[in-house]
Structure 1
Amino acid sequence: MERLILDTDLAMGAPGSDIDDGFALALCLADPQLDLELVTTVGGNTDVDTATTLTLELLDRLGRPEVPVHRGARDPLVRPRARQGSLPAGMAPREPRPEPAATALVEAVRAHPGELTLVAIGPLTNVALAMRLDPGFAGGLKRLVIMGGVFLQHTNEAGMPGEFNIWCDPEAAHAVLTSGVRADFVGLDVTLRVRVDRAQAEAMAASDQPFTAFAGQYTQAWIDHLAERGGDEAVDSCAMHDPLAVAALSRPDLLTWRDAYVAVELGDRLRGAMLADFHPERGKHGQEMDLEVNARVAVDVDAAAFNDYFTTTMGEIR
């Protein structure tokens, strides 16, 4: 049994918002090999207050309201950015546990050193703050899995050169990469290849299981939003970025990993872009460089096997 903490900018249930973070939370609860002990929220896909309320609402829908939720960082470490989400009509704001997320993270890891895996599926602000609060936090984690980055290709967007989670707070990503922990990065190179299509979303929406029907309806809406935003009515699927990071815990066979030295760009033009050196020992033109492996990067995925895992596990939710 893998004991875990989920750090999330969850937006499933908000009008026009991404839905993969909600599926990630559901997988944490439905997979019998996972034991979700704590959830922390962070601003990213939506503002942190909206993410917190939606997380609490979703835990209720999933029949697990007792899972503690702690509100985290509203803004990135260095450059605040306005982000305002919206709740569905009639949904009232809800209050989480009183301790800030970074404090809750530090206390949990201090109480169970070497036993907890942290899965971070939003900007890394809370994780960096916990590392600042306690220099032993990184070393106290059993494992750190991050949904973030793109390593073998590019975003091809001048306005957002880094993958969204890293781009939101690259200074936090830098703090994590230089903390001494060897994080596992599940980035766009693999997450864009695991998808739920419109037919699957329609089947979920027609389910007699309340959460599955709810998730299916919002997945249909998100696929429609992607089609409208891209001006392409042929869009018929959406990526399961965050669920793949969760699946990496109980299904390590789904992913192929490579060790790398990873750094993040903090400047303006390439803000949030990741440099991944898969052969740091080679140096430059045969000269030694002072680079050490600080990450494992997912470079390949068995998309069909993930789809089977996702479909089967989601089918266990009642």
Structure 2
Amino acid sequence: MKKIILDVDTGIDDAQAIMFALSLPTLDVIAITCVKGNVDVDIVCLNTLRILRVCDRLDIPVYRGATCPILGTSSVPTIHHGKDGLGDCPDSDSSLSSMIKGEHAVSALCRFAKQYPGEITLLALAPLTNVALALRLDDSFGRRLNRIIIMGGNLTASGSRASITGDFNFVADPEAAFVCTNEISSPITLLPYDVCYKNDITWEQLFDVLASPSKKMRYLSAIMEQSIKYKRDELGLARFYTCDPVTVLLAYDMNFASTECANVMVELHGEYTRGLSVFAKKQTRRSTLPQNEETHSCDIVLNFDVERFWCIFKEMLNVV
């Protein structure tokens, strides 16, 4: 079993990722840390516990983390997640807040890394504030991980709803992205937003995936209803794509993606490019190699097998 920690800002895509991680047979999710992103961190914690409740895994500890970016405040809109981050689906259970652990998420990250040196794969699915603060709290944190897989960055500067050039996770906290990509000496894999964007499926294919009568798929269908309507009907998107659960499959099997090693720089000052990731390419290689050549080099995912991803996603979440 591979020990996994998820760092999340639980909106709909994080919900997909959490459910997927808990369904894969060789992944052992030992903790989930929460950070402000799609919604405020207190709502992120509650949303995470809502997902764990659906999966009957409330035994997994959930930790509250950073309430704002390292510098300033984030004003990046995330309307497609709904006001509560999970499609505004009613939830009358107010008891979940008592299950949030008292220890801060950053402290928990450092503690787990010390407890299991070289064993933890950290899946960073949100703005990287918690991870950057862990590097500041404990300078050994960045070398104690087995690997960190980051969902963030943008290969082509083609932008997103968050920015005309960058992706949400890096734009929401550029300083944290800069610190993490330059100071983590454990192996880094980075899944750029635009790589996910180009690996889309038709709405019919998505509805086929969601058609399962399993408890998890019924819940996903409910929380995704508002987002689907917004993207398909209001934005007029012809196809559907997702990002965070793809990161989970990378933790499960690196071989379904092709990668290239590159040095990563994050722009901090540009009026239009703040949060943009810039890549200095090195030699092509597979992301299964155990070590990066330099502390700031990453295995950048260039493409992945989207058919295989959705096949495994559907199979794993099909269990009632």
- Classify the TM-score, shorter chain: 0.7 to 0.9
Give the aligned residue type for 2:242.
M
Q: Secondary structure at the match of 1:278?
A: strand
Report the counterpart of residue 288 of structure 1 in structure 2: none
Any gaps of 5 or more consecutive residues in structure 1? Answer: 12-18, 281-290
Residue number among 13, 17, 28 corresponding to 1:20 in the alignment: 13
Residue number among 308, 315, 318 corresponding to 1:315 in the alignment: 318
Q: CA deviation at 1:155?
A: 1.0
Q: Distance in 1 between matches of 2:52 and 2:21?
A: 11
Residue number among 207, 215, 220 corresponding to 2:225 in the alignment: 220
Give TM-score scaled by structure 1 length: 0.86
Q: Distance in 2 between matches of 1:216 and 1:88?
A: 11
The number of equivalent residue pairs is 297
Question: CA distance change for structure 1 residues 125 and 314 in 2, over 3 Å: closer, same or farther?
Answer: same
Question: CA distance change for structure 1 residues 277 and 143 in 2, over 3 Å: closer, same or farther?
Answer: same
Residues 102-111 or 214-223, more deviating:
214-223
Q: Secondary structure at the match of 1:130?
A: helix
Q: Considering only CA atoms, is the larger Rg found in Structure 1 or Structure 2?
A: 1
Matched, 1:78 2:57: no
Report the counterpart of residue 98 of structure 1 in structure 2: 102
Residues 90-99 or 154-163, more deviating:
154-163
Matched, 1:140 2:144: yes
Q: Distance in 2 between matches of 1:81 and 1:152?
A: 23
Question: CA distance change for structure 1 residues 7 and 180 in 2, over 3 Å: closer, same or farther?
Answer: closer
Q: CA deviation at 1:157?
A: 6.8
- Write the mapping of 1:165-176 to structure 2, written as runs, cut at 5 A: 165-176=169-180
Partner deviation per Cα, 1:121-154 (whole Å, 9 max, x = no partner): 0000000011100000010001000000111442
Q: Distance in 1 between matches of 2:317 and 2:248?
A: 13
Paired residues of 1:202 and 1:217 also in contact (CA < 8 A):
no
Report the counterpart of residue 40 of structure 1 in structure 2: 33
Paired residues of 1:20 and 1:239 also in contact (CA < 8 A):
no
Q: CA deviation at 1:207?
A: 3.7
Paired residues of 2:157 and 2:166 also in contact (CA < 8 A):
no
Partner deviation per Cα, 1:183-234 (whole Å, 9 max, x = no partner): 110112321134464335544655432221110232232111113442x2xx
Report the counterpart of residue 303 of structure 2 in structure 1: 300
Q: Distance in 1 between matches of 2:192 and 2:160?
A: 15
Question: CA distance change for structure 1 residues 156 and 44 in 2, over 3 Å: closer, same or farther?
Answer: closer
Report the counterpart of residue 287 of structure 1 in structure 2: none
Report the counterpart of residue 250 of structure 1 in structure 2: 252
Report the counterpart of residue 50 of structure 1 in structure 2: 43
- Write the mapping of 1:184-199 to structure 2, written as runs, cut at 5 A: 184-195=189-200, 197-199=202-204
Report the counterpart of residue 116 of structure 1 in structure 2: 120
Question: CA distance change for structure 1 residues 183 and 292 in 2, over 3 Å: closer, same or farther?
Answer: closer
Paired residues of 2:181 and 2:296 also in contact (CA < 8 A):
no
Q: Secondary structure at the match of 2:275?
A: coil
Give the aligned residue type for 2:261.
D
Partner deviation per Cα, 1:165-196 (whole Å, 9 max, x = no partner): 00000100111122142411011232113446
Paired residues of 1:70 and 1:100 also in contact (CA < 8 A):
yes
Residue number among 259, 262, 269 corresponding to 2:261 in the alignment: 259
Q: CA deviation at 1:35?
A: 0.7
Any gaps of 5 or more consecutive residues in structure 2? Answer: 284-293
Report the counterpart of residue 107 of structure 1 in structure 2: 111
Give the aligned residue type for 2:9.
D
Paired residues of 1:24 and 1:243 also in contact (CA < 8 A):
yes
Paired residues of 1:155 and 1:161 also in contact (CA < 8 A):
yes
RMSD: 2.3
Q: Distance in 2 between matches of 1:206 and 1:300?
A: 27
Partner deviation per Cα, 1:247-293 (whole Å, 9 max, x = no partner): 0012212110100011000114211101101039xxxxxxxxxx975
Q: Secondary structure at the match of 1:10?
A: coil
